[in-house]
Amino acid sequence: MLNRLKTVALLGFLTALFLFIGNLLGGYIGLVIAAVLAAFMNFGAYWFSDRIVLRMYNAKEVGRSEAPELYEMIAELSKAANIPMPRVYIIPEESPNAFATGRNPKNAAVAVTEGILQLLDRKELYGVLAHEIAHIKNRDTLIMTVAGALAGAISFLADMAFWSSIFGGSDDEEGSNPVVGILAMIVAPLAAMLIQFSISRSREFIADETGARLSGDPLALASALRKIEAWSQRIPIHSGNQATSHLFIVNPFSGMSLSRLFSTHPATEERIKRLEAMRIV
Protein backbone atom coordinates (compact mmCIF):
# COMPACT_ATOMS: atom_id res chain seq x y z
CA MET A 1 0.00 0.00 0.00
CA LEU A 2 2.82 2.40 0.88
CA ASN A 3 4.52 1.87 -2.49
CA ARG A 4 1.22 2.41 -4.33
CA LEU A 5 0.64 5.70 -2.51
CA LYS A 6 4.22 6.68 -3.23
CA THR A 7 3.66 6.05 -6.95
CA VAL A 8 0.56 8.27 -6.99
CA ALA A 9 2.37 11.02 -5.07
CA LEU A 10 5.39 10.94 -7.37
CA LEU A 11 3.25 11.03 -10.51
CA GLY A 12 1.44 14.00 -8.99
CA PHE A 13 4.74 15.73 -8.33
CA LEU A 14 5.86 15.10 -11.91
CA THR A 15 2.62 16.67 -13.16
CA ALA A 16 3.09 19.69 -10.90
CA LEU A 17 6.66 20.12 -12.12
CA PHE A 18 5.43 19.94 -15.70
CA LEU A 19 2.83 22.66 -15.05
CA PHE A 20 5.41 24.86 -13.30
CA ILE A 21 7.88 24.71 -16.20
CA GLY A 22 5.09 25.29 -18.72
CA ASN A 23 3.96 28.37 -16.84
CA LEU A 24 7.55 29.61 -16.57
CA LEU A 25 7.94 29.23 -20.32
CA GLY A 26 4.92 31.14 -21.53
CA GLY A 27 2.02 31.09 -19.15
CA TYR A 28 -1.13 29.22 -20.12
CA ILE A 29 -0.58 29.43 -23.88
CA GLY A 30 2.98 28.16 -23.61
CA LEU A 31 1.81 25.29 -21.43
CA VAL A 32 -0.91 24.23 -23.89
CA ILE A 33 1.43 24.34 -26.90
CA ALA A 34 4.13 22.38 -25.10
CA ALA A 35 1.60 19.82 -23.83
CA VAL A 36 0.27 19.22 -27.35
CA LEU A 37 3.80 18.80 -28.71
CA ALA A 38 4.80 16.49 -25.87
CA ALA A 39 1.67 14.38 -26.39
CA PHE A 40 2.48 14.06 -30.08
CA MET A 41 6.08 13.07 -29.29
CA ASN A 42 5.00 10.35 -26.87
CA PHE A 43 2.05 9.01 -28.88
CA GLY A 44 4.32 6.77 -30.92
CA ALA A 45 6.15 5.56 -27.81
CA TYR A 46 2.86 4.49 -26.20
CA TRP A 47 1.58 2.56 -29.23
CA PHE A 48 4.82 1.10 -30.56
CA SER A 49 7.21 0.87 -27.58
CA ASP A 50 6.65 -2.88 -27.16
CA ARG A 51 7.53 -3.62 -30.80
CA ILE A 52 10.54 -1.33 -30.64
CA VAL A 53 12.03 -2.90 -27.51
CA LEU A 54 11.39 -6.48 -28.65
CA ARG A 55 13.07 -5.75 -31.96
CA MET A 56 15.93 -4.00 -30.16
CA TYR A 57 16.73 -7.22 -28.31
CA ASN A 58 16.14 -9.48 -31.34
CA ALA A 59 13.39 -11.27 -29.42
CA LYS A 60 11.74 -14.17 -31.23
CA GLU A 61 8.10 -15.07 -30.55
CA VAL A 62 7.53 -18.69 -29.57
CA GLY A 63 4.46 -20.85 -29.17
CA ARG A 64 3.52 -23.89 -27.13
CA SER A 65 5.18 -26.29 -29.57
CA GLU A 66 8.52 -24.41 -29.52
CA ALA A 67 8.79 -23.79 -25.77
CA PRO A 68 6.13 -25.94 -24.08
CA GLU A 69 7.23 -25.59 -20.45
CA LEU A 70 7.77 -21.83 -20.67
CA TYR A 71 4.49 -21.33 -22.50
CA GLU A 72 2.49 -23.44 -20.04
CA MET A 73 3.92 -21.63 -17.00
CA ILE A 74 2.98 -18.23 -18.47
CA ALA A 75 -0.48 -19.51 -19.40
CA GLU A 76 -1.02 -20.86 -15.88
CA LEU A 77 0.12 -17.61 -14.23
CA SER A 78 -1.97 -15.48 -16.61
CA LYS A 79 -5.05 -17.47 -15.66
CA ALA A 80 -4.24 -17.05 -11.96
CA ALA A 81 -3.80 -13.30 -12.46
CA ASN A 82 -7.04 -13.13 -14.50
CA ILE A 83 -5.38 -11.47 -17.49
CA PRO A 84 -5.23 -12.49 -21.17
CA MET A 85 -2.36 -14.74 -22.22
CA PRO A 86 0.54 -12.47 -23.27
CA ARG A 87 2.75 -13.20 -26.25
CA VAL A 88 5.90 -15.15 -25.35
CA TYR A 89 9.39 -14.23 -26.59
CA ILE A 90 12.90 -15.58 -26.17
CA ILE A 91 15.91 -13.26 -26.43
CA PRO A 92 19.15 -14.76 -27.81
CA GLU A 93 21.32 -13.56 -24.91
CA GLU A 94 23.44 -15.50 -22.42
CA SER A 95 22.87 -12.89 -19.73
CA PRO A 96 19.98 -14.10 -17.51
CA ASN A 97 17.05 -11.68 -17.44
CA ALA A 98 13.40 -11.13 -18.31
CA PHE A 99 10.93 -8.32 -18.89
CA ALA A 100 7.29 -7.58 -19.67
CA THR A 101 6.08 -4.96 -22.12
CA GLY A 102 2.89 -3.77 -23.78
CA ARG A 103 0.49 -0.89 -23.28
CA ASN A 104 -2.19 -3.00 -21.53
CA PRO A 105 -2.94 -6.62 -20.54
CA LYS A 106 -4.60 -7.27 -23.92
CA ASN A 107 -1.47 -6.17 -25.78
CA ALA A 108 1.29 -7.55 -23.57
CA ALA A 109 4.36 -9.69 -24.02
CA VAL A 110 6.76 -11.52 -21.72
CA ALA A 111 10.35 -11.94 -22.91
CA VAL A 112 13.06 -14.08 -21.33
CA THR A 113 16.67 -14.58 -22.31
CA GLU A 114 18.16 -17.94 -23.24
CA GLY A 115 20.50 -17.46 -20.28
CA ILE A 116 17.72 -17.35 -17.70
CA LEU A 117 16.21 -20.55 -19.09
CA GLN A 118 19.54 -22.29 -18.57
CA LEU A 119 20.36 -20.79 -15.16
CA LEU A 120 17.17 -21.17 -13.13
CA ASP A 121 15.35 -24.26 -11.97
CA ARG A 122 11.61 -24.57 -12.59
CA LYS A 123 10.48 -22.99 -9.31
CA GLU A 124 12.81 -20.03 -9.72
CA LEU A 125 11.74 -19.47 -13.34
CA TYR A 126 8.09 -19.70 -12.28
CA GLY A 127 8.76 -16.98 -9.69
CA VAL A 128 10.39 -14.72 -12.29
CA LEU A 129 7.51 -15.23 -14.72
CA ALA A 130 5.05 -14.46 -11.91
CA HIS A 131 6.91 -11.18 -11.33
CA GLU A 132 6.55 -10.26 -15.01
CA ILE A 133 2.87 -11.24 -15.10
CA ALA A 134 2.44 -9.02 -12.01
CA HIS A 135 3.84 -6.06 -13.97
CA ILE A 136 1.19 -6.67 -16.63
CA LYS A 137 -1.61 -7.18 -14.10
CA ASN A 138 -0.62 -3.99 -12.22
CA ARG A 139 -0.36 -2.05 -15.51
CA ASP A 140 3.18 -1.02 -14.69
CA THR A 141 4.07 -0.72 -18.36
CA LEU A 142 1.42 2.00 -18.69
CA ILE A 143 2.49 3.72 -15.46
CA MET A 144 6.11 3.83 -16.60
CA THR A 145 5.02 5.10 -20.03
CA VAL A 146 3.16 7.96 -18.34
CA ALA A 147 6.13 8.69 -16.07
CA GLY A 148 8.51 8.61 -19.03
CA ALA A 149 6.21 10.85 -21.06
CA LEU A 150 6.01 13.42 -18.26
CA ALA A 151 9.77 13.31 -17.67
CA GLY A 152 10.41 13.71 -21.39
CA ALA A 153 7.92 16.58 -21.63
CA ILE A 154 9.58 18.32 -18.67
CA SER A 155 12.99 18.06 -20.36
CA PHE A 156 11.44 19.41 -23.57
CA LEU A 157 9.85 22.35 -21.73
CA ALA A 158 13.05 23.04 -19.82
CA ASP A 159 14.99 23.30 -23.07
CA MET A 160 12.38 25.68 -24.45
CA ALA A 161 12.49 27.77 -21.27
CA PHE A 162 16.28 27.98 -21.46
CA TRP A 163 16.44 29.15 -25.05
CA SER A 164 13.49 31.50 -24.48
CA SER A 165 15.35 33.13 -21.59
CA ILE A 166 18.42 33.60 -23.78
CA PHE A 167 16.79 34.76 -27.03
CA GLY A 168 13.38 35.88 -25.87
CA GLY A 169 14.37 39.51 -25.78
CA SER A 170 13.46 42.10 -23.14
CA ASP A 171 10.08 43.31 -24.29
CA ASP A 172 8.41 42.13 -21.12
CA GLU A 173 8.22 44.48 -18.21
CA GLU A 174 10.61 42.37 -16.14
CA GLY A 175 12.81 41.29 -19.07
CA SER A 176 14.35 37.87 -19.58
CA ASN A 177 16.23 36.12 -16.83
CA PRO A 178 18.90 33.70 -18.12
CA VAL A 179 19.56 32.41 -14.59
CA VAL A 180 15.97 31.16 -14.28
CA GLY A 181 16.27 29.49 -17.68
CA ILE A 182 19.51 27.76 -16.72
CA LEU A 183 18.03 26.54 -13.44
CA ALA A 184 14.97 25.25 -15.29
CA MET A 185 17.12 23.45 -17.83
CA ILE A 186 19.30 21.73 -15.21
CA VAL A 187 17.20 21.23 -12.08
CA ALA A 188 13.80 20.30 -13.55
CA PRO A 189 14.95 17.48 -15.88
CA LEU A 190 17.20 16.08 -13.13
CA ALA A 191 14.31 16.11 -10.65
CA ALA A 192 12.03 14.50 -13.23
CA MET A 193 14.56 11.75 -13.90
CA LEU A 194 15.00 11.02 -10.20
CA ILE A 195 11.23 10.86 -9.72
CA GLN A 196 10.88 8.55 -12.73
CA PHE A 197 13.53 6.22 -11.29
CA SER A 198 11.86 6.31 -7.87
CA ILE A 199 8.53 5.30 -9.43
CA SER A 200 10.29 2.43 -11.21
CA ARG A 201 11.81 1.19 -7.93
CA SER A 202 8.42 1.34 -6.20
CA ARG A 203 6.78 -0.68 -8.97
CA GLU A 204 9.48 -3.37 -8.69
CA PHE A 205 8.69 -3.87 -5.01
CA ILE A 206 4.98 -4.16 -5.84
CA ALA A 207 5.65 -6.64 -8.67
CA ASP A 208 7.81 -8.72 -6.32
CA GLU A 209 4.99 -8.90 -3.79
CA THR A 210 2.25 -9.56 -6.35
CA GLY A 211 4.40 -12.11 -8.18
CA ALA A 212 5.27 -13.95 -4.98
CA ARG A 213 1.57 -14.27 -4.15
CA LEU A 214 0.73 -15.46 -7.67
CA SER A 215 3.41 -18.14 -7.55
CA GLY A 216 2.88 -18.92 -3.87
CA ASP A 217 6.65 -19.15 -3.37
CA PRO A 218 8.45 -15.90 -2.44
CA LEU A 219 11.63 -17.82 -1.58
CA ALA A 220 11.91 -19.13 -5.15
CA LEU A 221 11.75 -15.57 -6.52
CA ALA A 222 14.30 -14.45 -3.92
CA SER A 223 16.63 -17.25 -5.01
CA ALA A 224 16.14 -16.32 -8.66
CA LEU A 225 16.96 -12.66 -7.99
CA ARG A 226 20.14 -13.66 -6.19
CA LYS A 227 21.27 -15.80 -9.13
CA ILE A 228 20.31 -13.26 -11.80
CA GLU A 229 22.11 -10.44 -9.98
CA ALA A 230 25.32 -12.46 -9.67
CA TRP A 231 25.36 -13.81 -13.22
CA SER A 232 24.29 -10.52 -14.86
CA GLN A 233 27.48 -8.92 -13.59
CA ARG A 234 29.58 -11.80 -14.95
CA ILE A 235 27.80 -11.97 -18.30
CA PRO A 236 26.63 -8.50 -19.40
CA ILE A 237 23.83 -8.14 -21.91
CA HIS A 238 25.11 -7.22 -25.36
CA SER A 239 22.08 -5.85 -27.20
CA GLY A 240 19.79 -2.95 -26.34
CA ASN A 241 20.71 0.15 -24.36
CA GLN A 242 20.46 1.60 -20.86
CA ALA A 243 17.24 3.50 -21.61
CA THR A 244 15.38 0.17 -21.41
CA SER A 245 16.94 -0.98 -18.12
CA HIS A 246 13.75 -0.31 -16.12
CA LEU A 247 11.97 -3.07 -18.06
CA PHE A 248 14.12 -5.93 -16.78
CA ILE A 249 13.65 -7.84 -13.53
CA VAL A 250 17.27 -6.96 -12.64
CA ASN A 251 19.07 -4.01 -14.21
CA PRO A 252 21.32 -5.54 -16.91
CA PHE A 253 23.38 -2.34 -16.92
CA SER A 254 23.71 -2.07 -13.11
CA GLY A 255 27.48 -1.67 -13.29
CA MET A 256 26.95 1.66 -15.05
CA SER A 257 24.80 3.19 -12.29
CA LEU A 258 26.36 6.06 -10.34
CA SER A 259 24.31 5.53 -7.19
CA ARG A 260 21.01 4.14 -5.96
CA LEU A 261 19.40 7.51 -6.65
CA PHE A 262 20.11 6.96 -10.33
CA SER A 263 19.08 3.30 -10.29
CA THR A 264 15.89 2.08 -11.93
CA HIS A 265 15.73 -0.89 -9.51
CA PRO A 266 15.79 -1.25 -5.73
CA ALA A 267 18.84 -2.93 -4.22
CA THR A 268 18.54 -6.66 -4.88
CA GLU A 269 19.47 -7.38 -1.25
CA GLU A 270 16.48 -5.33 -0.08
CA ARG A 271 14.14 -7.10 -2.50
CA ILE A 272 15.38 -10.50 -1.28
CA LYS A 273 14.99 -9.42 2.34
CA ARG A 274 11.35 -8.41 1.77
CA LEU A 275 10.54 -11.62 -0.09
CA GLU A 276 12.11 -13.78 2.61
CA ALA A 277 9.98 -11.98 5.19
CA MET A 278 6.74 -12.70 3.31
CA ARG A 279 4.27 -15.27 4.56
CA ILE A 280 1.92 -16.67 1.93
CA VAL A 281 -1.42 -17.69 3.43
Q: CA 189 to CA 204: how far, in whole Å?
A: 23
In terms of residues, how long is the chain?
281
Q: Which residues contact 216 (CB under 8 A, 6 or more apart)?
A: 280
Cα-Cα-Cα-Cα torsion 96, 137, 123, 91, nearest 10 degrees, comes to -30
Half-sphere exposure of residue 184, counting CA atoms within 13 Å on the CB side? 28
List residues with catalytic annotation. Answer: 132
Q: Can you tell me the distance from the alpha carbon of 23 to that of 30, in angstroms, rounded to the nearest whole number? A: 7
**76 and 82 Cβ atoms separated by less than 8 Å:** no
- Decide if 92 contacts 125 (C-beta within 8 A): no
Euclidean distance between CA atoms 35 and 50, whole angstroms: 23
* Helix/strand/coil for 99: strand
Residue 268 CA to residue 228 CA, distance in Å, equals 10
Cα atoms in the Cβ-side hemisphere of radius 13 Å centred on 223: 13
Q: How far apart are CA 225 and CA 75, in angstroms?
A: 22
- How far is the C-alpha of 205 from the C-alpha of 34, rounded, in Å? 33
